[in-house]
Structure 1
Amino acid sequence: MTYAAHHVLTLLAALSAMAGMLRSRLPWRAPRTSLLIWQAIGLTLVLSVVGVALALGLAPYRLGIVPALAAFARDLAGGGLPGALTPFHLLLTACGIAVAGWVLAAFARSARSVAALRRRQRALLGLIARPHPEFAGALVVEHPAVAAYCVPGRRAAIVVSTGSLGLLTRCELRAVLAHERAHARERHDLVILPFAALHRALPASRHVRAMLDAVALLVEMRADDRAARDDGHLILATALRRFRTCDHLVSPPGTLAATEIGAGGDLDARIDRLSAPVPASTPVRVLLLAIAVTVVSTPISLFLLPV
């Protein structure tokens, strides 16, 4: 079996794992572990696509991709490429490098644009928001529609509208704020960023969009779990039910909102899960982690080791 065939197999394994994760509700039982699996799947998809092109292009070196790239760079700088490297090999190598550069550039653009959005949001909040008199760290904006969201970052901001204050009881408001603080503490924005960047690189791909939506929903479920530790599952579920029946203020781009309806924020699924929680058993968590390690380790090893 050739080196490239190994990468094709890892690509097929990642696609199969992605299809299984999208069809099953088992990931909802362990959101944090499932997020690790999605990160492994996303990394494997990119590495495998790049790996197929580079493995074929650099095949004459008979090395792992990273050592072969280093040898290729030395030969290119010295002006003496091996005679076994045909124009076809050079084209495939260029394609592999271009795809890797394209994805990295999309990641950099996404990170830069999101950071700029959040700077503007914090500046705006400094002008229009006021601290909540009871809940430290929460900011209140005057608006009749309901909204609650987190502006992530090193200086995270938790924001609620006056419409939310009039809608929720004290316990429900505390649960919603705990949900948003979970986003800030666990830096869920960094979890979503690579998938958002991949979607930016491949905006027409339905599979990439489905993967981004699944990750966004798991992020919300993970924050639900953190909030429910202190305030209980039913209190947060009741708060979400109240949000679902009201007019919503659309959260600003780049934020994480507990009450967002649509892609990645399926309130019905979250409410059902909170109303009848089924914690994942240790064997399930071990199985999910084993899948993640297996999916991500194979392409990485193929980049480093000759086959």
Structure 2
Amino acid sequence: MTVLAALVLALYAVLAGVLAPGRLARAAWPQRAPRLALTAWLALAAAFTAAVALTAYHLALTGPGAHAHGLLALLEPGTRAAGPEGPAVLVPIALAAAWPLARIAAAARRARRDRTEHLERLTLAGRTDPGLGAVLLDHPTPVAYCLHRGPVVISSGTVARLTDGQLYAVIQHERAHLAGRHHLLLTLGAGLADAFRGLPLGRGLRAQIAPLLEMLADDRAARSCRPEDLAAAMCEVGTPHPSPATLPAGGGSRTLLRMRRLLRPAPRPRPAVRLVALALIALAPLVPYLLTCGPTPG
């Protein structure tokens, strides 16, 4: 039965790592509910990791005396679930979990190093402007971004080109990134994308996490400023050197989509739909355990 469990788990890993990411990346609803979509991407990563780890675990258990576990035990009535055959069978689980954790740690080190280097350059090239509540760079190119954990950075070109309302909207967008601790999610997504490189899951994480975070910041900023001001500012500002440590206010391939969201917002999913979606997202990483390791009914 553990061979069957390994086969079912491998198929679930294909679903979470290959099939579902492609559908999610092509779907239109994430722009209506970016927070829900962000949660879905992270749940797929957790589900894929759990499925791979438990596949290896059940392959290690295969042999004489191996018994059914979890819901799959219903296919073999009369058997009793057996516990692990020894600590050695936990090694595959540890290895499967260690790889994404190691890549997340490496992404965090890169982001921290990049932020430190960027702060050193800002010390030489910028000055704190109390009126803006940001570091002001004396440069004609209109740029606006924030570093992980701050500060917000604005160029003199941005101040000169934007109206007061647009400048306020840009600063509110950057403060939304900081208030939401989006740098943590950006680092998490970068690490998971590295861990699953070559899979649709890894490509989707790399392509989707940052735009979804920008949409979240847009939505939060739009509560305290005119959406028209923020949309207009997106056309003018960006970040000259995108890096793991910066979250820009504008620029990028999704700018037109973000402007459309602000100027012609689509209705959000109904609460009942969101509740069902959240339940499915929460269940996705638990399915491998419930099928093959959880308590056996009856």
In the alignment, residue 144 of structure 2 is paired with which amino acid? Answer: A
Deviations 1:201-235 (A, max 9, x none): 34444541233211211111010000001102222
Deviations 1:150-182 (A, max 9, x none): 1113xx211111121112111111111111111
- Mapped pair 1:270 → 2:258: yes
Distance 2:244 2:23 in 1: 30
Which runs of no fewer than 5 residues in structure 2 stay unpaired?
71-81
- Mapped pair 1:172 → 2:163: no
Task: From the superposition, tell whether residues 36 and 199 of structure 1 become closer, same or farther in structure 2 (CA, over 3 Å).
Answer: closer
Whose helix proportion is higher, 1 or 2? 1
Task: From the superposition, tell whether residues 59 and 192 of structure 1 become closer, same or farther in structure 2 (CA, over 3 Å).
Answer: farther
Contact 1:172 1:239 in 2 (8 A): yes
TM-score (norm 2): 0.82
Partner residue, 2:191: 197
Task: From the superposition, tell whether residues 36 and 300 of structure 1 become closer, same or farther in structure 2 (CA, over 3 Å).
Answer: farther
Task: From the superposition, tell whether residues 303 and 187 of structure 1 become closer, same or farther in structure 2 (CA, over 3 Å).
Answer: farther
Task: From the superposition, tell whether residues 203 and 294 of structure 1 become closer, same or farther in structure 2 (CA, over 3 Å).
Answer: closer
State the 1:54 CA deviation.
1.7
Alignment counterpart, residue 126 of structure 2, candidates 120, 125, 129: 129
SS of equivalent to 1:242: coil
State the 1:193 CA deviation.
2.0
State the 1:303 CA deviation.
7.2
Task: From the superposition, tell whether residues 123 and 12 of structure 1 become closer, same or farther in structure 2 (CA, over 3 Å).
Answer: same
Partner residue, 2:5: 3
Alignment counterpart, residue 24 of structure 1, candidates 7, 24, 27: 27
Task: From the superposition, tell whether residues 224 and 18 of structure 1 become closer, same or farther in structure 2 (CA, over 3 Å).
Answer: same
Superposition pairs of residues 119-158 of structure 1, within 5 angstroms: 119-136=116-133, 138-153=134-149, 156-158=150-152
SS of equivalent to 1:229: coil
Partner residue, 1:221: 215
Distance 2:285 2:201 in 1: 19
Task: From the superposition, tell whether residues 303 and 219 of structure 1 become closer, same or farther in structure 2 (CA, over 3 Å).
Answer: farther
Alignment counterpart, residue 159 of structure 1, candidates 153, 157, 162: 153
- Mapped pair 1:72 → 2:68: no
Partner residue, 1:36: 39
Contact 1:233 1:275 in 2 (8 A): yes
Contact 2:237 2:249 in 1 (8 A): no
- Mapped pair 1:210 → 2:204: yes
Which runs of no fewer than 5 residues in structure 1 stay unpaired?
77-89
Partner residue, 2:267: 279
Distance 2:206 2:180 in 1: 18
Identity %: 31
Distance 1:209 1:202 in 2: 8
State the 1:19 CA deviation.
2.4
SS of equivalent to 1:231: coil
Distance 1:68 1:254 in 2: 45
The alignment's C-alpha RMSD in Å is 2.7
Distance 1:3 1:253 in 2: 39
How many residues align? The count is 279
State the 1:118 CA deviation.
1.4
Partner residue, 1:185: 179
Contact 1:148 1:176 in 2 (8 A): yes
Contact 2:194 2:202 in 1 (8 A): no
Task: From the superposition, tell whether residues 161 and 57 of structure 1 become closer, same or farther in structure 2 (CA, over 3 Å).
Answer: same
SS of equivalent to 1:150: strand
Alignment counterpart, residue 295 of structure 1, candidates 281, 284, 295: 284
Q: Mean alpha-carbon deviation: is it higher for 293-302 or for 45-54?
A: 293-302
Task: From the superposition, tell whether residues 212 and 252 of structure 1 become closer, same or farther in structure 2 (CA, over 3 Å).
Answer: closer
